[in-house]
Amino acid sequence: QQSPPRNASSGRDRLLGGLLSPDFDGPSCRSRYEGSERWKPSPFPVSSHLVRKLREYEAHHRRCGPGTAAYRAARAQLLSGRNGDRGECRYVVWLPIQGLGNRMLGLVSTFLYAVLTGRVLLVHEPAEMEALFCEPFPGTSWLLPPSGFPSLDRGFWSSCPESYASMLESNVIGYDYDDDGGGKNASAMLPAYVYLHLENMDLRLQNHTFCEEDHRALDRFNWMVLRSDSYFAVALFLVPAYRDQLGRMFPAKGAVFHHLGRYLLHPGNRAWGVVRRFFDGYLAGADERLGVQVRVVPQSHTPFEAMYDRIQRCARENGLLPQVTDEPFAGVVNGTANGSKARTKAVLLVSLKPEYYERLHGTYYANATVSGEVVTVYQPSHDGDQRTESRAHNERALAEIFLLSYCDEMVTTGWSTFGYVAHALAGVRPWLLVPQDWSKARDDDVACVRPASVEPCLHSPPSLVCRGGGGGKGLDDPVARVPFLRHCEDVGFGLKLV
């Protein structure tokens, strides 16, 4: 019995249980509602509290977003060089860095931070990201207007004078302040904005970024610039002040990116055109879809044969692909005895390199399968190398992340944020190919592991050395005391929500 193809207009829940606002028109962003119809129904219910917070956020963004009087006033204050009194409209400007997967993790985390702190998220969109994603909030824009933000061209880094860590060090800001007194420590006298550096630095986040007192101090600024390549949403769960809100928004902690990514990240029309053509043309008709993502980074010196062997072993040991045989019509008699069509399995192979596709495609092209199942193998593109500065390259990458997310099962490469985003959007626990370091690989290593949740991994845990922590309390392992945290299966020191 063939299951109906999961293509458009199948009467699925196009608003994803209330995650998506119905207040958009179609043509400006085709993916928003067409995309949701291609996903399998989510295994994770959306809480009514999350829906309420999203609608409240959207209304707040409309009141404060670019083009409003409130925005003009806040910008004038920003340009004055002083923080001024606490505004009703407060902002966090997100700056992109690294590849697309990293960017999507950082952006979703920044949005969650904005929701928790009552800030409005503004996105700096460099040329290579132009119209890559749709506007996510109805009746307003999330793009930082091009009129210029102080120091944006000069750049920000961990120890620049505007960074929070530098301000702490030079006593520009302290933990103790007196807003009633109007003295030196009053919030109005602070610099006009603070830069929060949340990039992965040697697999750690900077000190003083996830302690309660830091978040109280950061809260004093009306404008914040934040740059992150990391899924720091995980670390927000470590700040006691946010825990109650987070608990109500996400009763299932293992579905944070799954819901927020589906809410926030809609491919723009160019990337969506690629998804639609490829999905409808090659994948929609199959009974089952298996995604295989092979991320080979130059530094890892991954030998092709060893990696290909891992993929094959992972597929065989977990029943993901049927075995092939020399017998050209194996399984066919049974399969077609009653005139029914053989089952089909489409494999979407996604990689910068062509050779994994060529080998797998060749295998199922030349040979029948023992089960009689027909396996077709497709690769949408093979750009060779990462070219983050190219818009067309990023569109293909985004299209492939979404195509993967429409698969029923997935084999992904450990450590890859590209793979994390795809399986978290899908709501599918992948089979993770390990290891990263091929110099230590052995033939009898396990080929792939099944993670405990669909969530991405935070590769760079925060340092929890806080005031009064004295290095003792701060250095303990949060996994030991937070029941919904685990270390990642592929990155032993990383943290993930389950």
Sole window of 30-38, 100-108, 321-329, 490-498 interacting with ligand GDP (rule: CB under 6 A)? 100-108
Sole window of 4-12, 35-43, 247-255, 379-387 interacting with ligand GDP (rule: CB under 6 A)? 379-387
Closest CB to ligand GDP among 321 and 403? 403
Q: Which residues contact 64 (CB under 8 A, 6 or more apart)?
A: 70, 71, 74, 88, 89, 91, 120
β 223-228/344-351 pair status: unpaired
User: Is there binding between residue 396 and ligand GDP (CB under 6 A)?
Assistant: yes
Q: Of 385, 479, 459, 414, which is closest to residue 106 (Cα–Cα)?
A: 459
**Site mask for ligand GDP (CB under 6 A), range 322-361, x = bound:** ----------------------------xxx---------
**Site mask for ligand GDP (CB under 6 A), range 405-424, x = bound:** -----------xxx------
Nearest approach, Cβ of 128 to ligand GDP (angstroms)?
10
User: Is there binding between residue 268 and ligand GDP (CB under 6 A)?
Assistant: no
Q: What share of the chain is helix, strand, coil (3-state, %, to 5)?
A: 35, 15, 50
Neighbours of 467 (CB within 10 A): 12
Nearest approach, Cβ of 452 to ligand GDP (angstroms)?
20
Which residues between 286 and 315 bind ligand GDP (CB under 6 A)? 295
Decide: 37 and 9 in contact? Cβ < 8 Å.
yes
Decide: 158 and 165 in contact? Cβ < 8 Å.
yes
Closest CB to ligand GDP among 109 and 416? 416
Decide: 470 and 477 in contact? Cβ < 8 Å.
no
Q: Of 490, 492, 20, 486, which is closest to residue 254 (Cα–Cα)?
A: 486
Nearest approach, Cβ of 101 to ligand GDP (angstroms)?
3
Query: How many residues touch ligand GDP (CB under 6 A)?
Result: 21
Per the document, the length of the chain is: 498
Span between the terminal Cα atoms of the chain, in Å: 35
Residues 63, 386, 466, 493: which binds ligand GDP (CB under 6 A)? 386
**What whole-number distance in Å separates Cα of residue 350 and Cα of residue 397?**
9
Closest CB to ligand GDP among 369 and 388? 388
Closest CB to ligand GDP among 213 and 383? 383
Nearest approach, Cβ of 4 to ligand GDP (angstroms)?
29
User: Is there binding between residue 460 and ligand GDP (CB under 6 A)?
Assistant: no
Residues 125, 212, 219, 383: which binds ligand GDP (CB under 6 A)? 383
Nearest approach, Cβ of 476 to ligand GDP (angstroms)?
28
Residue 302, SS3 per DSSP: coil
497 DSSP assignment: E
**What whole-number distance in Å separates Cα of residue 100 and Cα of residue 417?**
8
143 DSSP assignment: B
Sole window of 99-107, 302-310, 340-348, 423-431 interacting with ligand GDP (rule: CB under 6 A)? 99-107
User: Is there binding between residue 31 and ligand GDP (CB under 6 A)?
Assistant: no
Q: List phi, psi (to 5°) of 458.
A: -85, 110
**What whole-number distance in Å separates Cα of residue 106 and Cα of residue 423?**
16
User: Is there binding between residue 458 and ligand GDP (CB under 6 A)?
Assistant: no
107-128 core/surface letters (b: 16 or more CB in 10 A; e: else): bbbbbbbbbbbebbbbbbbeeb
Nearest approach, Cβ of 98 to ligand GDP (angstroms)?
5
Q: 369 pairs with which residues across the strands?
A: 324
User: Is there binding between residue 100 and ligand GDP (CB under 6 A)?
Assistant: yes
Closest CB to ligand GDP among 42 and 379? 379
Residues 31, 83, 102, 206: which binds ligand GDP (CB under 6 A)? 102
Residues 373, 400, 409, 490: which binds ligand GDP (CB under 6 A)? 400
Closest CB to ligand GDP among 368 and 397? 397
Q: Of 268, 266, 267, 264, which is closest to residue 113 (Cα–Cα)?
A: 264
Nearest approach, Cβ of 201 to ligand GDP (angstroms)?
16
User: Is there binding between residue 388 and ligand GDP (CB under 6 A)?
Assistant: yes
**Where along the sequence are the contacts to ligand GDP (CB under 6 A)?**
98-102, 295, 350-352, 381, 383, 386, 388, 393-394, 396-397, 400, 416-418
